[in-house]
Amino acid sequence: MPYKERDIDKLYYTIGEVADLFKVNTSLIRFWEKEFDIIKPKKNSKGNRLFTKEDIDNFYIIFHLVKERGFTLEGAKKKMKENKQDTIQDIEVIKSLQKIKSFLLELKDNLPD
């Protein structure tokens, strides 16, 4: 069986890493942290925020609702409170479709002329 390299998840991510992941400013990450009580970063002795994988998953949901679907902050809070699971399923479908699209585009690029 061929060796398959595993993706290694970190335990904690800095605010800069989270901002880079979503291509937003760190100020937006701090703002969302204040607005959404499901985001609870740890803080080290210097006071730097350390986000967990669960925090990042919640940021994905917030980002999807606010930036991609156009929800207001209040609308996103309400949607997460009432029907978070549906939103998670929507995001998973979108991620799967994006992977399929990337795969198909790669196949297309490798076709002989």
Per-domain residue ranges for the chain?
13-109
Tokens of 52: 């967990």
What digits encode the pLDDT tens for the residues 49-85? 999 999 998 998 899 899 988 999 999 998 888 877 7
Q: Kindly indicate whether the domain formed by 13-109 is annotated with CATH number 1.10.1660.10.
A: yes
Question: Are 36 and 58 a contacting pair, CB within 8 Å?
Answer: yes
Question: pTM of the entire structure?
Answer: 0.70
Tokens of 94: 């979108």
Can you give the pLDDT at residue 35?
93
Rounded CA separation 68/11 (Å): 27
Rounded CA separation 13/55 (Å): 9
Residue 1 has pLDDT above 60, yes or no: no
